[in-house]
Amino acid sequence: MKIFSFKQEYNNLTSLEQIVRELNLPSVSISSGDIFSAKDLKETDVFIFPYDVIGKTHGERTEPVKDFVKEGGICWIMNQRQRGWYSHFLPPELADVELENRYIDLDASRIRLKPYISPWILEREHPIYNKPNYIDEGDFVFWKIKVLGDIYETTATHIVFLPSTWDILGGFADQKIKLKDRAALIAEARYGKGLFFWTQVFSPEITWRGQKDFTKRFLQNILTYFQDFRKNKVFRVKIKPKPWAILSGEKIKIEIKPKKEVKSVNLEILTPKGKKVETKTLDYTPSEGGTYKVKAKIKAKDGRFTYAHTFFKVTKGFTPFRFLTHVHFQTDWTPEHLGTLYGICRRLNIDGVVLAEGYFYWDRKLSLKIKAQLNRIDNPAVRFFPGEEIHPMHNYTLEEGGTKEDSRRHVTTVGYMGICPYATKRWDEKDLARIHQNKGIAIVAHPHSQPWWVEPQEGHNFEAIEVDRTNPKIWDKMLKKGKVITGISGFDNLVEHRFFFRSINTGWFDQPFDLNSLIDTILKGRITKIITFPHQLRANKNYLFFSINNQITGGTVYAVDKVELQVRVRSHLPLRFLRIVKDGNRDYKKIKVNAKVINCQFQEEIKRDTYWRIEIDCPDQYFEYSCPTFTNPIFVKKIRGPKGSYFYFQNQAPFFFSQEKGRFLANLTQLKRVKFHDNIWEISFFEPGEGKIFIGVEDIKEIELDGRKKAVRRRHKGEIIIPFLKGEHKVRIKL
């Protein structure tokens, strides 16, 4: 394939000739010049307008391009600027185009911040994103490019508006521009037998130094696509998993469209632990928990072939999935579109996003538009879920219960959007009931030291609170009273905090990852959070794990006289202090660690019902009293029984709305009574779904469930596990 490029006048940029030659593609040759004729193009497969040259040429010099493309050639237009711009080189049906600079200071910024401009991939099955390399929005984020002495933290500066005669492969949107406006960063248009191809993202001459690996992969994909186009071998296939998420041991099926053209399919499946599995069948049974990546090599009946990619998620035991709540997009404070958010999540290994936009600015039609965008971006790799921030703007005075940090009363939702949240009014307590009536849960947003949320709101209560932006003493005061509310972190990505991912939650899931299991995990308090800022790209493997006698965070342990606390932490930054918080006492144990890895156990005596949770002091904190790294509590109930013994439950049952509590609750196993006499230990309970009891006890002679003897089978941690179904049950242990 022969490429001719219009000569680039910027001598301090790496030339396209040098870049293409370094790719070492044996079937590709390239030359350049500042004068060309129809004869030159006749011997060419691809003609390139490099960065910022169109405005410096004259119309008659580009007239041959139209005929060249019409006869089957390819014209690649790289990123252009408004200066001297014209579109005479395009045929009339394609020429109604307009360039606009969107890399401008944000109106809402006080420190001259600019938006991050990147493509929203609209045709994921297109060969430029799949063959031979997989590329998605994650490859277009966290760029820092030096261009002619200036630094750009973006993938583009100018967007191009295109008529409907163009196919937009990578779209653009922000607070003023919508997808329907047909703004593009990557696009193509057929003309005659040929192709006009346009990339407004920075061209290879610019990205070569700062994003060399990406430039190689993307350029290789584009040139492969051009070769296939010239040989009439372009082949596009969609694949998707069914379902998107499963339990370990269940079967996943890969669906292919269009199936009738396909001759054979070879799958390469990359497991969460990095192992590659190859198979020629479209069914697969995974055994690990986490995210799987699927690469399919698909051959057509006529000899063409292509690649397609997808993902699926698997839950095994308690699998950690990372998620964000309170996420804004396309506002004056956060202009970036969902495609950019998707790309950031891909790079940071975030599995799910709960939005914080609904009927904003009293625009009731906007909710439908947001749902359409949500459906477009929702993907097995990163799930997007509905939510909103109820955003009254009244600032409460100190006399009204306000505080100096933030005196507004805001609420975010999970699973529902539909309340008009933005107005110069006070918080309406009836809105909490509206959220619950529409099967959503409510999170108190950034209350700081305000305690307004601790009391019922028209008989309803909140399900969770953004703990890392509140005074934890208020949270502990509620927990000590038996008012359990889950601690969570809210992203609230506004202005200078748009990409400061301090607020990644880890949920410990025991069901396939979807909206219902996310809500259930929140209600059960199976949430930990470790700070990932700064240097968040180095924090992909950060985690915080907390258990008591093997019961995970958020759970309850029934113990006779003692328990063992286990804490495991991995951080990309040194951590200062580990706090073991008992019954709200944040100074119960404060251990200086100054380390990136923590792995420790603590033995604790049980004298009464209590709870423990973990806080870790980090180098960067919001406020003096804040806890940016924390776990939810594990409750310990003192019971009668043999010395050193304990038990706990784990179950699966749908969460439900409690009229008594005025909120949604996890549907947990209910302990009825415990008896211990004459070396007989009896545990009676009710199970609303199905579950298991885990028992830590020594020297058992015999064990029964509901009068039937059970084999004494212990797992590797020495616990006896007994499964059961819905209903009343009694475990009887003879010692």
- What radius of gyration, in Å, describes the C-alpha atoms of the chain? 29
How far apart CA 735 and CA 525 sit, in angstroms, is: 34
pLDDT digits (tens, 9 = 90+) for 236-269: 999 999 999 999 999 999 999 988 889 999 999 9
Banded pLDDT at 702 (limits 50, 70, 90) = very high
Stretch 350-365: mean pLDDT: 72
pLDDT digits (tens, 9 = 90+) for 410-427: 999 999 887 765 666 888
pLDDT at 59: 60
pLDDT at 362: 45
Note whether 564 and 698 are same-domain residues. no
Note whether 482 and 430 are same-domain residues. yes
pLDDT at 29: 86
Note whether 305 and 352 are same-domain residues. no
Q: What pTM did the predictor assign?
A: 0.95
In a domain, 472, yes or no: yes
Closest CA to 237 of 336, 310, 293: 310
Query: What is the helix, strand, coil percentage profile of the chain, to 5?
Result: 20, 40, 45
Stretch 369-378: mean pLDDT: 85
pLDDT at 364: 54
Note whether 300 and 432 are same-domain residues. no
- Look at the chain and report how many structural domains it folds into: 4
Banded pLDDT at 359 (limits 50, 70, 90) = very low
pLDDT digits (tens, 9 = 90+) for 129-139: 999 999 999 99
pLDDT digits (tens, 9 = 90+) for 315-336: 999 999 999 999 998 888 888 9
In a domain, 355, yes or no: yes
Stretch 88-104: mean pLDDT: 93
How far apart CA 302 and CA 240 sit, in angstroms, is: 23
pLDDT digits (tens, 9 = 90+) for 41-90: 888 999 999 888 886 665 666 778 899 999 999 999 999 988 777 888 89
pLDDT at 361: 44
For residue 298, the domain's CATH number is 2.60.40.10
pLDDT at 405: 62
In a domain, 38, yes or no: yes
Banded pLDDT at 204 (limits 50, 70, 90) = very high
For residue 675, the domain's CATH number is 2.60.40
**What sign for the dihedral angle of Cα 708, 714, 719, 724?**
negative
Tokens 């001719």 — which residue?
A: 4
Domain that holds residue 696: 669-734
Q: How many residues appear in the chain?
A: 735
Note whether 207 and 253 are same-domain residues. no
How far apart CA 681 and CA 449 sit, in angstroms, is: 46
In this predicted structure, the answer to whether residue 470 has a pLDDT above a threshold of 90 is no
Pairwise pLDDT comparison (26 vs 226), residue with the higher score:
226
Task: Choose the final residue of a domain: 638, 658, 693.
Answer: 638
In a domain, 117, yes or no: no
Work out the burial of residue 735: count CB atoms within 10 Å of its CB; fewer than 13 is exposed, 13-18 middle, 19 or more buried. middle
Note whether 221 and 264 are same-domain residues. no
Task: Choose the final residue of a domain: 268, 292, 315.
Answer: 315
- Cα distances (angstroms) measured from residue 556 to each of 250, 373, 544, 633, 664: 29, 40, 19, 9, 18
- Cα distances (angstroms) measured from residue 67 to each of 45, 198, 577: 13, 18, 70
**Residue 649 backbone dihedrals phi, psi, to 5 degrees:** -115, 150
Q: Give me the chain's average pLDDT, please.
A: 91
Stretch 171-192: mean pLDDT: 95
Q: Which two tokens stand for residue 401?
A: 């219960």
Note whether 397 and 249 are same-domain residues. no
Note whether 37 and 73 are same-domain residues. yes
Stretch 706-730: mean pLDDT: 90
3-state secondary structure 435-489: HHHCCCEEEEECCECCCHHHCCECCECCCEEEHHHECHHHHHHHHHCCCCCEEEC
In this predicted structure, the answer to whether residue 681 has a pLDDT above a threshold of 60 is yes
Stretch 161-180: mean pLDDT: 95
Stretch 694-720: mean pLDDT: 89
In this predicted structure, the answer to whether residue 289 has a pLDDT above a threshold of 90 is yes
To 5 degrees, how large is the angle CA 609–CA 627–CA 593? 90
High-pLDDT (> 90) share of the chain, %:
69
Task: Choose the final residue of a domain: 230, 250, 275.
Answer: 230
Note whether 405 and 431 are same-domain residues. yes
Closest CA to 589 of 570, 571, 607, 616: 616
pLDDT at 423: 60
Note whether 198 and 306 are same-domain residues. no
Note whether 616 and 678 are same-domain residues. no
Note whether 370 and 390 are same-domain residues. yes
Strands (E), 504-641: 505-509, 527-529, 543-548, 551-552, 556-559, 562-582, 585-605, 610-617, 629-631, 634-638
Range name among 146-155, 230-239, 300-309, 459-468 with the lowest pLDDT average: 146-155
